[in-house]
Amino acid sequence: MIYTIIALVLLVADQVVKYLVRTGIDLGQSIPFIPHLLDLTFVRNTGAAFSMLEEHTWVLILISAIVVVVVAVLTARKVFQGWLGLTAAMLVMCGGIGNLIDRVVLGYVTDMFQTTFMNFAVFNLADCYITVGVVLLFIYVLFFYPEPNQKEVDPHADCDLPGDRH
């Protein structure tokens, strides 16, 4: 339940920030946000990360929807467990849904964060959620995901209990 509440808060934050940028900043305009680090720049992104698949909105809608559904199904089947697995899944789904809402409703994704200390793509909160979620997912799979065929070990299997016959 806590993951659902956190996901809703993150999703609302993503949508509110995007709305404020669309209504408060002219398209293409940059406003200093954190000096020498980050500007707010309103960009309409019709592609994916780094503008890949630009102008292929329906393909991106389909891919995003599939990813969100697959992660949701895997989460429901308890493939992702523990705080790390569930947090990773929640962030990927939340980011995917945030950008999916933009694509379905607007036909583009609202991006706004532009780094000023390096040349990097303009991005949004949903992109941050996806990126952090994928990194956590890799950590989870590499270090914490149980081995396939790993059987549940009974810690008392080798204990001699009173009345046991050998």
Name which of 99, 80, 77, 100 is nearest 90 in CA terms: 80
164 catalytic per annotation = no
Please report the beta strands in the chain, taking only residues with DSSP state E, as ranges in sequence order: 30-34, 38-45, 109-115
Residue of 111, 154, 158, 160 marked active site: 111
Tokens 């009974």 locate to 154
Question: What's the Cα-to-Cα distance from 25 to each of 78, 80, 109, 117, 150, rounded to whole Å?
Answer: 42, 39, 15, 21, 54
Among residues 26, 39, 127, 160, which one is catalytic?
A: 127
Half-sphere exposure for 38 (CA within 13 Å, toward CB): 9
Between the CA of residue 78 and those of 60, 71, 74, 140, what are the distances in Å? 27, 10, 6, 13
Active site residue 154: no
Q: Which residues are catalytic?
A: 111, 127
